[in-house]
Structure 1
Amino acid sequence: MSYVAWLAKIRSADKSSVIQGTVRKVHYNFTDGTEMVEEYSTETGMVLRRAWKLRSDLIRKDNWEIELGEHIPKQFQSNEMLLSEATTEPFLSKRITRNAIEWRIRNLPYPLNTYTITCDGAAHMVTVRTSNKKYFKKIVVPEFQRCNFEPKVEDLMLRHQNQTLIISYKKPPILIEMEKAVLLELQNVETVEYDDIKCEDLLKGLISQ
């Protein structure tokens, strides 16, 4: 199996798990010092969010990088005023369904025939470009890296609605197998259920940066 290295990384991590309502949060401390948080739906078993902690010695602050889930606009302080990231710029979010990986790029008003989507199999990457040269994005797919799968452009599905470009890729069998193996491993992690959790927020920093 080509995802052996990722599964070994998951198994070797120090893991903790809590349930709040219909969401299970799993916090990973890996042996290399990195941290990851995942949120799973307890109703469907699908992963809803995945984020990695990025440490910065320069500003002495921890940031969270969202790999999977809805984009959260950043906020920052300037001259004693709280400013927000512009919401009119195109931004990318990713979600995983039972059968596909789906990317949504919002604030793209151009018609469907404007977009060209290509795949770089060796780099596990999907590239989006517009014929009017208004948008260009390389999308690295960590899930494909972990199971060493090379995406093919013919397996992509594309649609455009409400100024949003929606790209879908049907999950290859190797990815489905990897997801099942990870879920099986998480069954062995002790999980605490809270009605009103008061412990440290596992996603601290995601909405306060």
Structure 2
Amino acid sequence: SKVCLAPRVPPAMSAPMLPGVPITCKPQGRTSIVSQGRKKLHSVLTDNSEMVEEFDAQTDELLLRKIRKKTTLGGEAPWTIEVGTEGKVFNPDTDLLAASSSNPIVVPMDTKTTFQWRIRNLHYAPSTYQLSIDEPTQCIVVRTTNKKYFKKLDIPKMRRACLGLEEENISWVHKSNTLIIDYKKPSQILEAEAVERKERANLKPSKDGGDECR
């Protein structure tokens, strides 16, 4: 009898290196708590910025990542959200149907294999969208042929790792007035995240730390 084999998934390719020194977590610079079903990690990076990440305590899905850098005078700048939304986790099954403003809303997300963005309230036909890499800024550029929408999407984790972007790793689909963009993670990121998962599993968090990671 004929045996049906699953389609072969091509391995992740490595990304080109950019000039600079990668920014990583300082040794012993990470603490963890568990609160309200989330594992919350506070990290100090080698550039002295702070990073807070929140993971689902059961699935280890990344729900939120935000970072705060030092100002030129040594103070603390406002938090910048890199993944998720503050105070509310985007649910793609329900939020696409929820009432919202008419302006496009960008929600950065993270999957095990891709960096992802969902841009809601984009009503144009799929043939309207054009995506490319802006080499000088190393950003993904989203534009429409009718010149009604233009957006640059940054991938801070790639930038911290000094890794360049390649256009062949971009894929996208448009449905329910939402443009869903994926950028395939290179092998360097996948390997680093595998190490990070092991480190998270070995951390001994307190059961409920209130707002210590805020």
TM-score (norm 2): 0.72
Whole-angstrom CA distance in 2 between matches of 1:30 and 1:141? 17
Match for residue 40 of structure 1?
55
Match for residue 202 of structure 1?
213
Match for residue 77 of structure 1?
none
| Higher mean C-alpha displacement, 110-119 vs 38-47 | 38-47
Whole-angstrom CA distance in 1 between matches of 2:191 and 2:142? 28
> Structure 1 residue 5 and structure 2 residue 22: aligned?
yes
Q: Unaligned 5+ residue runs, structure 1? A: 74-85, 204-209
Whole-angstrom CA distance in 1 between matches of 2:26 and 2:76? 28
Pairing partner for 1:26 from 41, 46, 49: 41
Pairing partner for 1:175 from 185, 189, 192: 189
Match for residue 66 of structure 1?
81
Between Structure 1 and Structure 2, how many residues are aligned?
Answer: 185
Q: Unaligned 5+ residue runs, structure 2? A: 1-13, 89-99
TM-score (norm 1): 0.73
Following superposition, the deviation at residue 55 of structure 1 comes to 6.6
Match for residue 107 of structure 2?
93
Task: For 1:142-153, list aligned pairs within 5 A.
Answer: 142-153=156-167
With over 3 angstroms needed to count, the CA separation of the structure-2 counterparts of 1:96 and 1:88, relative to structure 1, is same
Pairing partner for 1:160 from 164, 174, 180: 174
Pairing partner for 2:153 from 139, 153, 156: 139
Determine which structure has the larger strand proportion and give its number: 1
Structure 1 residue ranges (4+ consecutive) displaced by more than 6 angstroms after TM superposition:
1-4
Cα RMSD after superposing both structures: 3.2
Whole-angstrom CA distance in 2 between matches of 1:71 and 1:134? 28
- Alignment identity in percent? 30
Describe the superposition over 1:4-28 as per-residue Cα deviations: whole angstroms up to 9, x where unpaired. Answer: 833xx31336322111243200012
